[in-house]
Amino acid sequence: MQNMVRPCNAHYLDYPLERFCQSMAELDIQRITLYGCVPHVFLNHHTFDEIESTAKLLASFGLHADVFIPGGYGYSIFAEKDSDLQKATSKYLENCICAAAYLGADTVCIRPQNGILSCNTDELIDNATRILSELSPLAETTGVRLAVGTALKKDAAAITDINSLNRILKQTGDSRIGALLDVHVMNAAAESIDEWLELFKDRIFHIFIEDGGKSGRRVPGNGVYPLRHYLSVLEQKHSSAGLTCFLDRKSALPEKDDQCVKQYFARAEDTEAISCLN
């Protein structure tokens, strides 16, 4: 497998982005996933102007962001048509796509969040389908793909399982819009990686792969998920999906977490399950 497991800055949010960049440089890592959330990245539905300074910072440490994850904030792809929330959400995601293109990223990972309590599930899925479809022309123009994930039931009003995501992808029918497989959410929904690969095949654009359990995401080796099995299955299926170790908990010692991540996947490489961080 030619995939690399990209680290992400999400667990550094208590520190400046420079600290994450320095850690990557010390670990001799060049390719990363950028979580576009304050205080590291200032981007909303009004502007993405500061992405230029972010790009310069990454370049100064020899880093390249292959993947961009929008911060959730109060936006929602479930917003009703022509509502203020829908207009703000659409503009925000447009700015995220433009920011990703500026950074040279080829994938934007969209995690469903929030919801509209006055709408039923069918309406929410239709709303999400419409917003995603309207983003597709910009994604094509900028050369960016949209990877849409499922969400924990506590985080979103819909798209919380593989079947609802499949419905979204069928309704969009767009080759620029694919699946984001988040193994933590997958486990919470009692689904398997085999189910995901069988259903979506090459339409899985990106994968969040980390350890975890009922208490949340964990550094690889500190949870109960069968990561080695996941990596082996991805290898056997010749998956071309990109991989990110997405640790969404702020950490007091993020550099130690990064060391653990690199060491874990280096050992996995020794068993020929996956390519190591590079």
Residue 88: give the domain boundaries: 5-270
Among candidate residues 2, 6, 33, 67, the one with its CA nearest the CA of residue 235: 2
* 185 in a structural domain: yes
* 277 in a structural domain: no
Split at pLDDT 50, 70, 90, the class of 269 is low
Q: What are phi and psi of 202, to 5 degrees?
A: -75, 0
- pLDDT tens sequence across 126-177: 999 999 999 999 999 999 999 999 999 999 989 999 999 999 999 999 999 9
- pTM comes to 0.93
* 265 in a structural domain: yes
Q: State the amino acid at position 3 in one-letter form.
A: N
- pLDDT tens sequence across 41-64: 999 999 888 999 999 999 999 999
Q: What is the pLDDT of residue 270?
A: 54
* 278 in a structural domain: no
Q: What is the pLDDT of residue 238?
A: 85
Among candidate residues 105, 185, 182, 93, the one with its CA nearest the CA of residue 130: 93
Structural domains in the chain (count) = 1
Q: Which residue has the tokens 């961009």?
A: 68
**In the chain, which residue ranges form alpha helices assigned H by DSSP?**
17-26, 51-60, 84-103, 121-142, 162-172, 183-188, 193-200, 227-236, 254-270
* 218 in a structural domain: yes
* 78 in a structural domain: yes
Split at pLDDT 50, 70, 90, the class of 272 is very low
CATH number where 18 lies: 3.20.20.150
